Amino acid sequence: MDASKRAIAEANETLKPYAINILPRNKIDTKLWDQCVANSINETPMAYTWVLDHLCPAWKGLVINNYKGVMPLPLSGKGVPPIIQMPFDVLNLGIFSSNNTITLLSPVIFHHQVFKKFRYINYRFMGTELPVNHKLNPSISYRKTYELDLNKDYNSLKNAYSKSHKKNIRRFKRNNLEIQSVNHPNTYKLLQQEKAKEKPALYTPPAHNRGFSDMIKTALKNGSGENFEIQNQGEIIGSCFFLKGNKRVVIFHISNETGRKLKTTFGLIDNFIGKHAGEEKILDFAGSSIPSISEFNKGFGAMEKIYLNTTINRLPWPINIIKQKNLLYRFKLIFK
């Protein structure tokens, strides 16, 4: 038996004791799902049903042993069979459970027979221990993100900032700009899509932008979010939204060119850290392997974390090549 077949056989043996089913959204027990996420070892606000409903309305759910574990499956496209693909503005998801043995199924879960109908899968698992035999599975690669443990006093957290970050925060404060807590949900996407005119990689479709803004609106209503902006001479130049879970807070931040020069993002994030220092929460910077972004995140004292990226491409030629190179999305950026 060759290495790949042996790995599949071992994966199937690992998965055999578990009852695993994929359910459409209308068959998912919302209460049981959200309870499972809330009590999970690797809890994140991104995995709650109400967030998924806004950011990837076509999602389905993998349920393990009657909600002892759950895994969001964001579906993309209208083709048959459907494909699993991470939605915009979601870095990673995963298997969520209070049982560590279940969360560690991440590296092998896509070998289960329920996934055979999916011809293309691109999925990123948060906070997963790396499998010893990962080299036998070419579909798995590693990515980096950054997290900051807020469970220290503010002075201790601030002392861990880089020299350049401390300098930029002082520069921000000298500008005497007010950080405003706001309830209107559209600022982040408006600034982001304006910036996307110069940086096409930031572009996200209008339907998604509406869903994202609706998610912010819901989060502000149910106490799961904090939304801030900075204005200069009547112009909004920086925006930062914090999506809060029980254990984790995910950051979404953006600034325009004026905001970048006035160091608004440094001020916004430092302000949040100051307000929430001492809480038993993780501040999740949601990326990135891009050197400049990595340095920005590390500058706040955030620690590097590894997560798994899995891509399985069983599409026929030439669609498999088109999907692999992400050509359709690039054409949309050119001709949008």
Verdict on whether the full-model pTM lies above 0.75: yes
3 pLDDT higher than 70: no
Report whether CATH 1.20.1440.230 matches the domain 151-280: no
Q: Give the model's pLDDT for residue 328.
A: 45
Cross-strand bridge partners of residue 73: 60
* Res 136: pLDDT: 44
pLDDT attached to residue 331: 38
The pLDDT score that the predictor gives to residue 287 is 77
What pLDDT is attached to residue 13?
Answer: 82
Is there a contact between 67 and 35 (Cβ–Cβ < 8 Å)? yes
- Residue ranges of domains in the chain: 3-143+308-335, 151-280
Q: Please name the residue that has the structure tokens 């049981």.
A: 32
Residue 69 confidence (pLDDT) above 80: yes
Question: 291: how many CB neighbours lie within 10 A of its CB?
Answer: 8
Task: Give the helix ranges, DSSP H, for the chain.
Answer: 3-15, 30-38, 49-55, 100-103, 154-159, 163-174, 187-195, 206-222, 257-261, 264-276, 291-298, 319-325, 327-335
Q: Domain 3-143+308-335, CATH 3.40.630 — does that match?
A: yes
Map tokens 């870095």 to a residue: 91
Query: For 295-320, what is the mean pLDDT?
Result: 85
The token duo for 106 is: 């991440």
pLDDT attached to residue 77: 67
Please give the full DSSP string across 13-44, using - where no structure is assigned. HHHTTS-EEEEEGGGS-HHHHHHHHHTSTT--
Percent of the chain with pLDDT over 90: 70
Q: How confident is the model at residue 289 (pLDDT cuts 50, 70, 90)?
A: confident
- Residues ≥6 apart with Cβ < 8 Å to 88: 55, 204, 205, 208, 212
Amino acid at 271: N
Q: What's the token pair of residue 282?
A: 């993780």
Gyration radius (Cα) of the chain, Å: 21
d(CA 247, CA 39): 10
Q: Is the pLDDT of residue 65 over 80?
A: yes
CA separation for the pair 306, 156 (Å, rounded): 25
| Domain 3-143+308-335 identical in fold to domain 151-280 | yes
Q: Identify which of 58-72, 76-90, 99-113, 192-206 has the greatest average pLDDT.
A: 58-72
pLDDT in tens, 122-173: 999 987 655 544 454 557 788 889 999 999 999 999 999 999 999 999 999 9
Farthest CA pair distance, the chain: 69
Query: Does residue 52 carry a pLDDT above 80?
Result: yes
Residue 327 banded pLDDT, cuts 50, 70, 90: very low
Return the pLDDT at 9.
Answer: 78
